């Protein structure tokens, strides 16, 4: 129970005042003057307190009635306020539901974005790998592919200066295919290699055959009489790559071509030296008559016309002329 202050200057709340032993105390000290005066004054105060309590109760009742009347007057406003509060609660509930939906959607979008990022990284790696594979495959295709133009040149083009480019391309492809067995055994076992090897072998055989026939024909021209060997050899230097190709890729024909060239040049040079020696021997046997030297002294003419010494000198002069020529 709350404390009740009636303006008497003290707290008279019943729960905090104990009356136990009060009668005994009054009988014991009732004759005391101070106690007696206090008891007489307390009776008068009790009558005043009762009046005050009645007044306070009346005031409280009036305040209660005024409050009830005020609440009754504001009832419509309160009902309107209650409706607004309920409406606000409904709006807030809708907003909460919408925000919950947005949050769920944002979570789904975040998950989707994360998935898209992972897919983007995966696609980037795949693209990089495919570009690397494309570069490798492009190099491989370029190395082993046989364009129709190359096939036509090897099989049907005239053997000459333009034939060198076709041979170089063919040699590059032959070296790549044959070298793959050592550099990359897995590549050598690829199906593309198995497909291109027979075609390359046919082109190699045909190119070796055509080069063999061409070079043997050119070397045979060295045997013709009155052939300028130096000019012909200078012309053959333009086709020295033919010999290199035969040495690297025409093992079955290269020794034959070399042997034919060696035997041909040996015969040609042997014939030329034999002719030269026969001419020297013929000059050595000639004699100079007395009247053939104009303005020479008679003793010098006799020395020139007689003995082997003069003949050797004339032959030496002619050898020098021939060699210089």
Residue with tokens 């009346």: 58
Check pLDDT > 90 for residue 88. yes
CA 88 to chain centroid: 61
Check pLDDT > 60 for residue 45. no
Position 40 scores a pLDDT of 65
The residue that leads in pLDDT, 31 or 259, is: 259
- Residue ranges in the chain assigned as alpha helix (H): 22-29, 33-73, 75-144, 148-156, 163-183, 185-188, 191-220, 229-236, 240-249, 254-284, 298-305, 307-324
- Of all residues in the chain, the percent with pLDDT exceeding 90 is 4
Burial 248-261 (b: 16+ CB within 10 A, else e): ebbeebbeebeeeb
Tokens describing residue 40: 């007489």
Q: Tell me if residue 252 falls in helix, strand or coil.
A: coil
Position 290 scores a pLDDT of 54
What rounded mean pLDDT belongs to the chain?
74
Tokens describing residue 254: 């290269």
Position 21 scores a pLDDT of 67
Position 92 scores a pLDDT of 92
Tell me how crowded residue 322 is: count the other CB atoms within 10 A of its CB.
Answer: 12
Task: Give the integer Cα–Cα distance in Å for 91 and 9.
Answer: 55
Position 85 scores a pLDDT of 92
Radius of gyration of the chain, Cα coordinates, nearest whole angstrom: 68
Contact 173, 197 (CB under 8 A): no
* Residue 215 phi, psi dihedral angles, 5° rounding: -70, -40
- Looking from the CA of 238 toward its CB, the CA atoms found within 13 Å total 11
**Per-residue pLDDT tens digits for 311-322:** 333 333 322 333
**Per-residue pLDDT tens digits for 138-150:** 777 777 777 888 8
Which of the given ranges, 25-29, 41-45, 124-128, 181-185, has the highest pLDDT on average?
A: 124-128
Q: How far apart are the first and last CA of the chain?
A: 155
Check pLDDT > 60 for residue 15. no
Over residues 169-183, mean pLDDT:
77
CA 251 to chain centroid: 42
Tokens describing residue 183: 């550099």
Contact 207, 167 (CB under 8 A): yes
Tokens describing residue 203: 């082109």
**Per-residue pLDDT tens digits for 109-125:** 988 899 999 999 999 99
Task: Give the integer Cα–Cα distance in Å for 294 and 315.
Answer: 20
Question: pTM surpassing 0.85?
Answer: no
Task: Give the integer Cα–Cα distance in Å for 305 and 286.
Answer: 10
**Per-residue pLDDT tens digits for 204-262:** 888 888 888 888 888 888 877 777 777 877 887 888 888 888 888 887 888 888 888 88
Which of the given ranges, 172-176, 227-231, 296-300, has the highest pLDDT on average?
A: 172-176
Check pLDDT > 70 for residue 267. yes
Check pLDDT > 50 for residue 65. yes
């Amino acid at each position: 129970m709350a404390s009740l202050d009636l303006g008497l200057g003290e707290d008279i709340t019943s729960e905090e005042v104990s009356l136990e032993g009060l009668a005994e105390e009054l009988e014991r000290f009732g004759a005391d003057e101070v106690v007696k005066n206090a008891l007489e004054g307390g009776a008068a105060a009790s009558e005043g307190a009762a009046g005050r309590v009645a007044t306070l109760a009346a005031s409280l009742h009036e305040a209660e009635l005024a409050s009830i009347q005020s609440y009754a007057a504001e009832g419509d406003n309160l009902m309107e306020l209650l409706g607004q509060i309920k409406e606000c609660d409904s709006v807030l509930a809708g907003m909460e539901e919408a925000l919950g939906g947005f949050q769920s959607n944002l979570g789904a979008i975040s998950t989707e974005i994360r998935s898209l990022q992972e897919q983007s990284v995966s696609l980037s790696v795949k693209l990089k790998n495919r570009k690397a594979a494309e570069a490798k495959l492009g190099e491989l295709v370029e190395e082993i592919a046989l364009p129709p133009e190359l096939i036509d040149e090897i099989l049907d083009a005239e053997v000459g200066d333009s034939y060198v480019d076709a041979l170089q391309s063919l040699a590059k492809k032959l070296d790549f295919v044959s070298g793959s067995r050592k550099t990359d055994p897995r590549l050598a076992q690829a199906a593309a290699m198995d497909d291109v090897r027979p075609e390359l072998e046919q082109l190699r055989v045909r190119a070796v055959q055509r080069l063999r026939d061409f070079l043997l024909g050119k070397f045979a021209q060295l045997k013709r009489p009155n052939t300028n060997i130096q000019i012909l050899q200078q012309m053959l230097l333009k086709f020295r790559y033919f010999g290199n190709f035969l040495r690297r890729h025409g093992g079955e024909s290269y020794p034959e071509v070399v042997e034919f060239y060696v035997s041909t040049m040996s015969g040609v040079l042997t014939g030329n030296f034999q002719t030269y020696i026969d001419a020297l021997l013929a000059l050595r046997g000639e004699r100079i008559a007395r009247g053939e030297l104009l303005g020479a002294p008679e003793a010098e003419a006799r020395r020139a016309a007689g003995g082997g010494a003069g003949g050797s000198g004339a032959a030496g002069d002619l050898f020098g002329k021939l060699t210089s020529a």
